[in-house]
Structure 1
Amino acid sequence: MDTEREPVRVVVVDDEQLVRMALRLVIDGEPDLSVVGEAADGDAALTAVDELRPDVVLMDVRMPGRDGLSATRELLARPTPPRVLILTTFDSDDLVLEALRTGALGFVLKDTPPPQLLDAVRTVADGNPVLSPAATARVIAAATGPQSSHARDSSREAARRRLAALTDRELETARAVADGLGNPEIAKRLRISVATVKAHTGSLFAKLAVDNRVQIALLVRDADA
């Protein structure tokens, strides 16, 4: 990210004070990021966003009172919402899947190493979706339960038809997304620029009529089933 730009303004939402403190220490250690506020529940998060106008909200899912899902829904229904990056322990995959449906741009686990967490905040701030590899795997596992042989065959054929519209490079990008790689990692794997990865990812969203990277990963998974 261009360090000449104003730092990305972040609000951290988690009911555990120690978690908030740790995240603040990690994020504020970066010159291009700044924690401008904290909140311990969804209601406080809404108030903080109204007062502070952050670029990114790092949102816990499970909290007393208004939970992170409810707060995220309300935030994203506003005319100029912040980007929301969900922070989770995956103690309930159903909650994470519901968070995905609300329109959150990213998901990271609470035990994500600091460099990956910081990259996720930056990626979401730029308007790009992001999922950690562990998050991708867990969401796919939760979203795809046991199927009958007929249902599995139908899903596979439908997915393959949709993926057939892709170029070879777009398909390689889709498979890298399914592996949970971020744009820099995809660029390294495919030996192309990050800008080219972003262009291919944009084509994936348009050609596959999907809203996020998890849906791309699910299509790849179904096609390979």
Structure 2
Amino acid sequence: MSRIVIADDHPLMLSGLVALLGQSSHDIIGKATNGNEALMLIEQLEPDIVVLDARMPEKSGVEVVQELIAKVRRPAVVVLTADLNDDDLVALMDAGVEGIVLKNGGEHLLVDCLDKVASGRNAIPRELRNRHTQLMASRSQSPLNSLSHRDREIIALVRKGLRNRAIGEELGLTEGTVKVYLNRIYEKLSVSSRTELLMVLQTLV
């Protein structure tokens, strides 16, 4: 039996998820209504799986996932969404989430997804995997095209001379998460330091 934390800011959706999963083989050990609550429960309860709404106040599901990347041990992540913009899809796929469930699908999709994730399998719809592949192919034509909206926000603050802690305070991220983002930016632009990053940006912009 998997121990699960659920986070969704809509009370009806949250109660519906609890009722649905209460009939499954999964055990709900915590409920949250925003991203910060979700992170707190994950830290306290150490669930096997966390189910996150992609759009929540304070911190979105996408931002919670980015926070979790910096942790040595993290739960498997399933994201619920009505739709995903390109940047969020790339961010979730790059972060290695285990499952994505579209809210316009049937109730059984979430249970099926959790069953797969609990057994160590990937549960991301084929259409989203194909869309991600197409996005990566189109973005590979220019290094800057591979940067997400959050990447660009961080780069803008780096160009202003802010250090990691100050960037985190500005964007509501931990210093560790900022480091993760910067390392991914370095990989995308084939650089290894802030100095190289700034030099490359001068030639590309």
| Residues 1:8 and 2:5 aligned together | no
Aligned position for 1:46: 39
Secondary structure in 2 matching 1:131? coil
Deviations 1:164-223 (A, max 9, x none): xxxxxxxxxxxxxxxxxxxxxxxxxxxxxxxxxxxxxxxxxxxxxxxxxxxxxxxxxxxx
Match of 2:114 among 104, 115, 121: 121
Which amino acid in the other structure matches residue 96 of structure 1? Answer: L
Q: Could you say what secondary structure the match of 2:74 adopts? A: coil
- What TM-score does the superposition give when structure 1 sets the normalisation length? 0.56
Contact 1:109/1:135 (<8 A) preserved: no
Please state how far the C-alpha of 1:147 moved relative to its aligned partner.
Answer: 10
2:91 to 91, 94, 98: 98
Change (3 A) 1:21 1:144: farther
Segment of structure 1 superposing worse, 132-141 or 19-28? 132-141
> How far 1:91 moved relative to its partner?
4.4
Identity across matched positions, percent: 28
Residues 138 and 108 of structure 1: is their aligned pair in 2 closer, same or farther, counting only changes over 3 Å? farther
Query: Structure 1 residues 147, 79: CA separation in 2 closer, same or farther (over 3 Å shift)?
Result: closer
The Cα shift of 1:116 comes to: 2.3
Residue in structure 2 matched with residue 156 of structure 1 by the alignment? none
Amino acid in structure 1 at the alignment position of 2:49: V
Cα offset, 1:35, TM superposition? 1.4
- Whether 1:59 and 2:83 are equivalent positions in the alignment is no
Cα 1:128–1:147, aligned 2, differ >3 Å: closer, same or farther? closer
What amino acid is the match of 1:125? A
Q: Which consecutive residues of structure 1, in runs of 5 or more, have no partner in the other structure?
A: 1-6, 149-225
2: CA distance, partners of 1:25 / 1:57: 16
Shift of 1:104: 0.9
CA RMSD of aligned residues (A): 2.3
Alpha-carbon offset, residue 77 of structure 1 = 2.2
What one-letter code is carried by the residue in structure 2 that aligns with 1:65? E
Amino acid at match of 1:76: I
**Partner SS state of residue 57, structure 1:** strand
Superposition pairs of residues 1-225 of structure 1, within 5 angstroms: 7-30=1-24, 32-140=25-133, 142-143=135-136, 145=138
**SS class of match (1:43):** helix
How many corresponding residue pairs?
141
Residues in 2 aligned to 1:141 and 1:113: alpha-carbon distance in whole angstroms: 26
Q: Which amino acid aligns with 2:54?
A: V
Deviations 1:77-97 (A, max 9, x none): 222210001111114232122
Note the C-alpha offset of 1:146: 9.8
Unaligned 5+ segments in structure 2 are 142-205
